[in-house]
Amino acid sequence: MEKLNFASDYLDGAHPRILERLFAANLEKNTGYSTDKYCASAKDKIRSACNCPEAEIHFLVGGTQANAMVIKYLLPAYQGVIAPATGHISLHESGAIENGGHKVLCAPEYNGKLKADDVEKMVKAYQNDGNKDMMVMPGMVYISQPTEDGTLYSLAEMEAIAKICRENDMYFYVDGARLAYALGCPQNDVTLADLARLCDVFYIGGTKCGAMIGEAVVFPKAGLVPHFYTLTKQHGAMLAKGWLLGLQYDVLFTDGFYEEIGKEAIRFADRIRQKVTEKGWKLCFGSPTNQVFVELPDEVYKKVEEKVIVSFWEKTKDDYTTIRFATSWATTQEDVDKLLAVLESI
Amino acid sequence: MEKLNFASDYLDGAHPRILERLFAANLEKNTGYSTDKYCASAKDKIRSACNCPEAEIHFLVGGTQANAMVIKYLLPAYQGVIAPATGHISLHESGAIENGGHKVLCAPEYNGKLKADDVEKMVKAYQNDGNKDMMVMPGMVYISQPTEDGTLYSLAEMEAIAKICRENDMYFYVDGARLAYALGCPQNDVTLADLARLCDVFYIGGTKCGAMIGEAVVFPKAGLVPHFYTLTKQHGAMLAKGWLLGLQYDVLFTDGFYEEIGKEAIRFADRIRQKVTEKGWKLCFGSPTNQVFVELPDEVYKKVEEKVIVSFWEKTKDDYTTIRFATSWATTQEDVDKLLAVLESI
Amino acid sequence: MEKLNFASDYLDGAHPRILERLFAANLEKNTGYSTDKYCASAKDKIRSACNCPEAEIHFLVGGTQANAMVIKYLLPAYQGVIAPATGHISLHESGAIENGGHKVLCAPEYNGKLKADDVEKMVKAYQNDGNKDMMVMPGMVYISQPTEDGTLYSLAEMEAIAKICRENDMYFYVDGARLAYALGCPQNDVTLADLARLCDVFYIGGTKCGAMIGEAVVFPKAGLVPHFYTLTKQHGAMLAKGWLLGLQYDVLFTDGFYEEIGKEAIRFADRIRQKVTEKGWKLCFGSPTNQVFVELPDEVYKKVEEKVIVSFWEKTKDDYTTIRFATSWATTQEDVDKLLAVLESI
Amino acid sequence: MEKLNFASDYLDGAHPRILERLFAANLEKNTGYSTDKYCASAKDKIRSACNCPEAEIHFLVGGTQANAMVIKYLLPAYQGVIAPATGHISLHESGAIENGGHKVLCAPEYNGKLKADDVEKMVKAYQNDGNKDMMVMPGMVYISQPTEDGTLYSLAEMEAIAKICRENDMYFYVDGARLAYALGCPQNDVTLADLARLCDVFYIGGTKCGAMIGEAVVFPKAGLVPHFYTLTKQHGAMLAKGWLLGLQYDVLFTDGFYEEIGKEAIRFADRIRQKVTEKGWKLCFGSPTNQVFVELPDEVYKKVEEKVIVSFWEKTKDDYTTIRFATSWATTQEDVDKLLAVLESI
């Protein structure tokens, strides 16, 4: 019998609605390099969902690619980017940001989140430093929604960070690799329109949120990075068959699908959290989204692993390990029932 | 009635055999980042097709990405890359190579091809220059097979270039964006095994050759670029769902499919060439592959354009324009018959 | 007896006036990083000499450093720089411009000079190319005054290039490594004020023009590259003892000294040119400045070399070699008399 | 009356012995680009002082330039450099290291020093991380001797770090901007020969240690960075008049001068430390070298500032400020006597 697999949210291909459309369009002979009808339509729908009719949108194929390009091409050479110490760009992009020429200025993190106050302190410390001309100027704040720990910024928290950014001429960038799982979460009060209103740039994750591959970078004010299209080619991030990405986002943004696609994954995650709590195990980080972090006694971990593929997160203390269960749009009721039965049996 | 479309060879999605496999594997929950069974199997098949059991293979998503990464990560900072003046890296990658820190040293081109003698002259000129320490050292030769002009290097020509490279400590890199259309061409005498024997690195094009997306970078000697895997992440070129690429190459390299997939496109291109000749128009560059370049009187061009989408190539002289018809694995007998009828009618 | 040395114009240290001032200021305890009184005074004098009271000025230590920094930090990533094929940045900076991320777009050269018409043709060709989004946009024109071949742009020629630049949103940058030898040349009609009026940025060479080391980068409009000061530190081009450079330029720009310092070198070069002509040897490139290029029969070259150190320039044809005699502010009447006697004797 | 100035150790020009030699050699017509007799002689003397006859040596003009170049050109793209959180490259080089493509991996610091144990922990953490392919590999350890806090590594401490480096294939790089003040310190037990034996690369500071400008980068094993000479040109760090640097180092390394030149500065600093202690003020960091860090009550600081220029270091707590007095080779007995009198009078 195959093991249950809750290791991550990028295990599957595309949502059936997308797959079907890809199949139908396969031999249509679309024009190249994102000049096709699907890209045009998807962009319109995203603009509408973001209540931002002027937004400039580019489809890329991965989150690290989006982060690397946005930061490299948006920041001048003398600026760096403030990010939580556990941010994806801080830790898990193999130095992509530095390879693009910019320092990641690590800030304290609280369950994966930045606090506006800490950001302000860093900026003021820089501004008041007698040696600041020899230092890296903070030019951007990077956060992810949800964070690496599955937590969410409230609208108030995001407004506070955006305010600090505006007051100090810093860009505000939100990495939405798992954005559908924020939008689908009952606790969330940050809409796509809020992101468009507060951010200088953000991306709407596709790869983990129903698409086969794809991320949609949104610049609410068009022209922020002149010639981003050409820069996409320069970075090697342009698909000749850009219509493949446009088509997927066209499906995701038809009839509010993107805002729905993560909801069931959240309900499934909530059921897992409930079971974990019943079993007396410790939930970590307070994630309300599709990632469930649990600190398990090692003997329990061992039993779980026999039947379920999970992600090892970290060794927290002697005899205890934190693991992650991730649900996704592809998780089925049946899989969850089986998982709960496994957990119950331990 | 929709226009016939012979504009390029990347108009369609994936070959039906690939689409079918993607469909079947869609919800399989493969492991991430190219650690899956499909990548493993595809690599084995490519190694076997290249008669190169030790080859290191990486799947990327585009040709410019492959070129940018290979050159950036392989060449030391003091070296540049020799390329024909019409090479893709010389002209049409938005400065990707320079953005990666390296000069493209343009060499004379003859219907898109380099001559070994010219390469040797450039290298010797560098080596004999009293100021060479202030100059860019040639460290690599880049060619494409087929070239941008659709022409092919013979095995003898490629051997000659490889020899100059070996004698002068330069890497030899072949861009195979359209490699299937070389392999499927009766005039071609350069096999995959020859490429693996002669090159330090080459890539086997997927995007234009049957795959939905994908390019397979082959290092015949493993380890030439240490940690290329990590560098793929750093460049933002790593797919979380790397299995998507592996699966496609697994199909393409099953039962010699890749060497077959371009053959019909060549036969179709030959029929177009024959008709062009019959009409008394001028074939350009001597391309024997899937790209058919034709110099047309402008009044003929205008008539063609009314019924067929083609690529404008260049304004050659007053009243004459060179255009391109491209066939591909997706071109049908019916499309070609219609095209020939259109041409006949002019 | 020591050989005469006319190999180049950077053989000597500093003009005695500068040396004297360095000596006097040696233990003054000036403040660091160009915040000292000498830098302030020198900048004022340069602004005045350029008739450009708002100019922003930075002192650097070498020409390649100036070129590398100006181009890297001024051009956005999608742009390249047009330069004559024999330009210093094209050939003799070890790939510095490409290492900074930008393509050098080589233009035809005529005795080292660009023609405005050629520049316009290149720009229009780019603008009219259907594929321009995949190409490098010309964003700057680079020339040197005098050129690598010792020739000078007339004011009319420079105005013409500046006009093309303005009309096409390109920066205009003049490399003045040997600028004093242009300003000191009777044929020259381009003043410092003209440069400040026509260029977006230029540098006033010190190393070859009387200073021990130093180049002064002038931005006629302050703020063109925000935080250039910090970028100087980032590039490793900031001297803790920036006052060393300020002091030298303060001397060079006191009482019009810079405009005088090259004059005698030109007169000496003219005497060499006259002798060469008398001897029936061929002057090359038409240089009217401190560099004298001569094509010599190899047996003559051999005899010259026995008594004089010169620069080998190029092997022009069988049995002929082009060499360079360079005079400088440090050349003496006695050296020139000896050289003429040597030439006469051959 | 002019204020006393103990703000830093780069306030003065060159040591009189150097100035005299520069003066004498000013019109000698030396060959360019460090191919002159002074560079050759200086390199020989440095090799001898380092007991390292095979060392490869390059003269540069500044510490940030040396750090930027060594790290950029030595590390492959997938590696970063471990440095103390207060290291010069971590904080005060305007992002030079990141601009060169590499992450600075900050380690805990103890009065400016790294501990070998912490380095080992960081390396092991990387090596044991399941995600290490998505992370930056530690490829180098950077320290300075003396540190930014004026402290010294003992030979045992340096051996321990070197051992961790060797065991884990990391380069070991020592920034010796103030090396003469380590070598001149009685507590120091790390010789030039030790550095050459333990490091892969280090630099011997000139700018703060008697030279007008200059830093000597030493690679004990020649060829570690192939073509470093060309890369120096590429970075814009090559002086046409390289002999200026060679000559200075030739003086500094004649008859053990470099090892002597910092001694008096240390004795002067010791006298200041003694006075500070007598006054009951707090010495910080435990620096035994030419930098004296003192935490002063703000009202004392104010009085000191009226008569002495010092460096503000940091606001340590309410009503207390840490300042720095720096002595140098140029500090005189008279200056120190005056300073002590001022301090006594407060």
Asked if the Cβ–Cβ distance from D227 to B73 is below 8 Å, we say no
Interface residue of A26, A97, A310, A331 to substitute, partner B, most B CBs within 10 Å? A26
Q: Does B299 touch chain C if contact means CB atoms closer than 8 Å?
A: no
Asked if the Cβ–Cβ distance from C78 to B98 is below 8 Å, we say no
CA distance B126 to C40: 44
Considering only the beta carbons, identify the residue of D78, D226, D233 that sits closest to B76: D226
pLDDT for B317 = 86
Considering only the beta carbons, identify the residue of D33, D77, D137 that sits closest to B73: D77
pLDDT for C317 = 86
One-letter amino acid at C15 equals H
pLDDT exceeding 90 applies to what percent of chain C? Answer: 98
pLDDT for D1 = 62
Interface residue of A71, A135, A136 to substitute, partner D, most D CBs within 10 Å? A136
Mean pLDDT calculated for residue range C331-338: 98
For residue B110 the two structure tokens come to: 């003859």
**CA-based nearest distance B111→chain C, Å:** 20
Contacts of C133 in chain A (CB under 8 A): 33, 227, 229-230, 233
Mean pLDDT of chain B: 97
Could you please report the per-residue DSSP string of D36-72? SHHHHHHHHHHHHHTT-TT-EEEEES-HHHHHHHHHH
Q: Residues C145-184: pLDDT tens digits?
A: 999 999 999 999 999 999 999 999 999 999 999 999 999 9
Mean pLDDT of chain C: 97
Bond prior to C220 in cis (omega within 30° of 0): no
Asked if the Cβ–Cβ distance from C227 to A73 is below 8 Å, we say no
Contacts of D78 in chain B (CB under 8 A): 226-227, 230-231, 234
Q: Residues C79-110: pLDDT tens digits?
A: 999 999 999 999 999 999 999 999 999 999 99
Mean pLDDT calculated for residue range C29-49: 97
Give the number of beta-carbon pairs within 8 Å between A and B.
Answer: 140
Contacts of C78 in chain B (CB under 8 A): 94-95
Interface residue of C71, C86, C134 to substitute, partner B, most B CBs within 10 Å? C134
Q: What order of strands is seen across the sheet that includes strand B215-219?
A: B56-60, B215-219, B201-205, B171-176, B137-144, B79-84, B104-107
Mean pLDDT calculated for residue range B208-217: 98
Asked if the Cβ–Cβ distance from A98 to D103 is below 8 Å, we say yes
Q: Residues D214-252: pLDDT tens digits?
A: 999 999 999 999 999 999 999 999 999 999 999 999 999
For residue A246 the two structure tokens come to: 């446009």
Contacts of D25 in chain C (CB under 8 A): 13
**CA-based nearest distance A113→chain D, Å:** 20
Task: Give this complex's ipTM.
Answer: 0.96
Residues 6+ apart with CB under 8 A from C130: B312
Q: Which chains touch D (3 or more CB pairs under 8 A)?
A: A, B, C
CA distance C40 to C22: 16
Provide the angle, in degrees to the nearest 10, between the axes of the packed helices A298-307 and A333-345. 140
pLDDT for B2 = 82
Asked if the Cβ–Cβ distance from C13 to D26 is below 8 Å, we say yes
Mean pLDDT calculated for residue range B39-57: 98
Are B153 and B145 a contacting pair, CB within 8 Å? yes
Give the number of beta-carbon pairs within 8 Å between A and C.
Answer: 40
pLDDT exceeding 70 applies to what percent of chain B? Answer: 100
Mean pLDDT calculated for residue range C42-71: 98
CA distance C316 to C322: 6
pLDDT for B1 = 61
pLDDT for C1 = 61
Mean pLDDT calculated for residue range C227-256: 98
Q: Does B11 touch chain A if contact means CB atoms closer than 8 Å?
A: yes
Asked if the Cβ–Cβ distance from D78 to B226 is below 8 Å, we say yes
**CA-based nearest distance B299→chain A, Å:** 25
Q: Residues D254-302: pLDDT tens digits?
A: 999 999 999 999 999 999 999 999 999 999 999 999 999 999 999 999 9
Asked if residue A269 has pLDDT above 70, the reply is: yes
Asked if the Cβ–Cβ distance from D32 to C10 is below 8 Å, we say yes
Q: Residues C263-320: pLDDT tens digits?
A: 999 999 999 999 999 999 999 999 999 999 999 999 999 999 999 999 999 988 889 9
Contacts of B22 in chain A (CB under 8 A): 13, 19
For residue C106 the two structure tokens come to: 């080589």
CA distance D170 to D75: 10
Mean pLDDT calculated for residue range C113-142: 97
Mean pLDDT calculated for residue range B211-215: 98
- Give me the residues paired with residue B293 across strands: B324
Are B22 and B28 a contacting pair, CB within 8 Å? no
Contacts of B130 in chain C (CB under 8 A): 312
Q: Does C30 touch chain D if contact means CB atoms closer than 8 Å?
A: yes
Interface residue of C86, C93, C94, C131 to substitute, partner B, most B CBs within 10 Å? C94
Interface residue of D31, D134, D230 to substitute, partner B, most B CBs within 10 Å? D230
| C-alpha of C261 from chain center | 15
Q: Does D131 touch chain A if contact means CB atoms closer than 8 Å?
A: yes
pLDDT for C6 = 98
pLDDT for A317 = 86
Picking from A152, A144, A151, the residue whose alpha carbon sits closest to that of residue A67 is A144
pLDDT for C327 = 98
Q: How confident is the model at residue D192 (pLDDT cuts 50, 70, 90)?
A: very high
Q: Residues B277-302: pLDDT tens digits?
A: 999 999 999 999 999 999 999 999 99
User: Would residue C51 be called left, alpha or beta, if left means φ above 0 and alpha means ψ between -120 and 50 degrees?
Assistant: left
Asked if residue A149 has pLDDT above 70, the reply is: yes
Considering only the beta carbons, identify the residue of A77, A226, A230 that sits closest to C133: A230
Q: Which chains touch B (3 or more CB pairs under 8 A)?
A: A, C, D
Q: Does D21 touch chain C if contact means CB atoms closer than 8 Å?
A: no
Asked if the Cβ–Cβ distance from B77 to C99 is below 8 Å, we say yes
Alpha helix segments (H runs only) across chain C: 16-25, 37-49, 63-74, 88-91, 96-99, 116-128, 155-167, 179-183, 192-198, 228-234, 243-252, 257-261, 263-278, 298-307, 333-345
Contacts of C94 in chain B (CB under 8 A): 78, 133-136
Asked if residue C124 has pLDDT above 90, the reply is: yes
pLDDT for B236 = 97
pLDDT for C260 = 98
User: Taking a contact as any Cβ pair under 8 Å apart, which residues of chain C between 68 and 87 contact chain A?
Assistant: 72-73, 76-78
Mean pLDDT calculated for residue range A43-55: 98
Nearest residue on chain A to C32, alpha-carbon basis: A131
For residue D99 the two structure tokens come to: 């601009």
Helix or strand (DSSP H, E) at B74: helix B63-74
Residues 6+ apart with CB under 8 A from D58: D34, D216, D217, D228, D229, D232
The sign of the dihedral angle between the CA atoms of A31, A33, A39, A40 is: negative
Contacts of A231 in chain C (CB under 8 A): 77-78
pLDDT for C94 = 97
Asked if the Cβ–Cβ distance from A91 to D135 is below 8 Å, we say yes
Q: Does B312 touch chain D if contact means CB atoms closer than 8 Å?
A: no
Q: Residues D297-342: pLDDT tens digits?
A: 999 999 999 999 999 999 888 899 999 999 999 999 999 999 999 9
Picking from D101, D106, D108, the residue whose alpha carbon sits closest to that of residue D82 is D106
pLDDT for A1 = 62
CA distance A79 to C227: 10
Q: Which chains touch A (3 or more CB pairs under 8 A)?
A: B, C, D
Q: Does B345 touch chain C if contact means CB atoms closer than 8 Å?
A: no
Helix or strand (DSSP H, E) at B193: helix B192-198
User: Taking a contact as any Cβ pair under 8 Å apart, which residues of chain B between 190 and 249 contact chain A?
Assistant: 207-208, 212-213, 230-231, 233-241, 244
In this structure, are strands A215-219 and A56-60 parallel, antiparallel, or unpaired? antiparallel
Q: Does C10 touch chain A if contact means CB atoms closer than 8 Å?
A: no
For residue B33 the two structure tokens come to: 């980042």
CA distance C155 to D231: 36
Considering only the beta carbons, identify the residue of D30, D69, D207 that sits closest to C11: D30
Asked if residue C71 has pLDDT above 90, the reply is: yes
**CA-based nearest distance D132→chain B, Å:** 9
Classify burial at B333, counting beta carbons within 10 Å of its beta carbon; exposed 0-12, middle 13-18, buried 19 or more: exposed
